[in-house]
Amino acid sequence: MTVEATMPVMLTQVLAMFAMMLIGAALRRGGLVDEAGTAQLSRVALYVATPAVILQSLAGPFDAGRLAAGIACAALSFGFTALSAAVGRLAFRDRCREAQLGIMVSNMGFMGIPLVQSVLGADSVFYISACIAAQVPLMWTYGVRLVSSDPADVSARAIATNPSVVAVAVGVVLFLCSIDLAGVFQVTAADLGNLNTGLAMLVMGAYLAQADLRALARDPVLYLASALRLLVVPAVMLAVLAALALAYGAHFIARTASMRADSQVAAETISEITDAFERRGYYVIGDDPTEAYDRDGYSVNAHLSDSGDDTTFVSLDVGNDGVVTEVSYKLQVDPARSLDENLARAEEQLAGLHAVVEGLDVPVAAPGLLSYGTLPDAFSEAFRAGTLYDDIFFSPDDLGSSEGAAIWCSFDTLPEEDWFDGMEPDIWLTLEADR
């Protein structure tokens, strides 16, 4: 979202949250909610609503990119919380410990989650959940020591049983196992999570209604702590982030230049392969490294059919260094023909494809990737002795290698009872550079 799109949404959400806080204050002032009731509402938000939101955000299919980003968020959250504590310590030394705690700890649970949900969407709660989990250990160790003179109050149990930490731990397990909430669990978590914003704001409003606002307004420590929390700490964090951005920016620029050079090398190999097959009348579909970089490499397929279907073709994998690392031939089997006829037809198709592959002038990880292009005798014998409904599989353990290229050969089909109209089993010959 752009700043222009984000600001109205954020402003609307902040005003709505303040309106809910005013309602909470009115309920407290009007006697509809007392001190005990406020504490109970707070516990419902802390132990039910907020964990429900966190579970919803974490449960779902595993994604390595999201995991890496979540870990980065947790690391930054821990570092910035420690940095905030250092700012408070430098400003007050051993005085005003409650103010130091206020400078150190942000209200990511009650204020942060509702704001992130509204402005960035429910998926982004994933990242603020990681931030909350990283903040809790500091809050329940150094934070507790700030306001308590008893070392026994610092408890590992308090950290381990914190509702948000428990929710994050359970959610991470669901995320790593690609388990999504469904059915009654999804509805329950969603409905309880929807209580989070309203409950949190009502509680905050009720607590503010109990405060002596006049005394707070006359307290100079409050203004200093607020300035440190709202101005100094963000400025320091921005400076740190800017330094990280500059450091990463230099790496990013260098990496981008390297990726562009790699893409050009890979594109040259793919272009050579494409031209060779198109000159012989094959229909070619290939990746374009100059349009989209792929760190895992690229592929180019040459089909017998000009429709580009996947009946019979050869596929070549090309690394970012422009080197061919794998060659796979897929040969169609016609159920209407006999096994001998299909084998002869497959060998003819393979010979035509391999004639082009063998003549390629491109870098290869192993010479055998281009030079080998026949169905192994062991496979041919097994195919003739089998049926159209029996799988055949030979690995390099059975077939060995040729000039550094490991040989795989298989016949992929289905049992007769599972066949369907239009079923066309395939013969595969794959050559892979030895590792």
Q: What would the pLDDT profile of 160-200 be if each residue is shown by its tens digit? A: 888 888 888 888 898 888 888 888 888 898 888 888 888 88
At 248, which amino acid appears?
Y
Number of residues that this document lists for the chain: 435
With a CB cutoff of 8 Å and minimum separation 6, the contacts of 352 are 304
Q: What region does 376 belong to: left with phi over 0, alpha with psi -120 to 50, or beta?
A: beta
Confidence at residue 1, expressed as pLDDT on a 0 to 100 scale: 54
pLDDT < 50 positions in the chain? 308-309
Please say whether the beta carbons of 200 and 24 come within 8 A.
no
Beta carbons of 41 and 203 less than 8 angstroms apart: yes
pLDDT value of position 175: 87
Tell me the per-residue pLDDT of 94-132, one tens digit each, with 9 for 90 and over. 888 888 888 888 877 667 777 787 777 777 888 888 888
Query: pLDDT digits over 229-260, tens only?
Result: 999 999 999 998 888 888 887 777 777 777 77
In degrees to the nearest 10, what's the CA dihedral of 194, 200, 206, 207?
A: 170
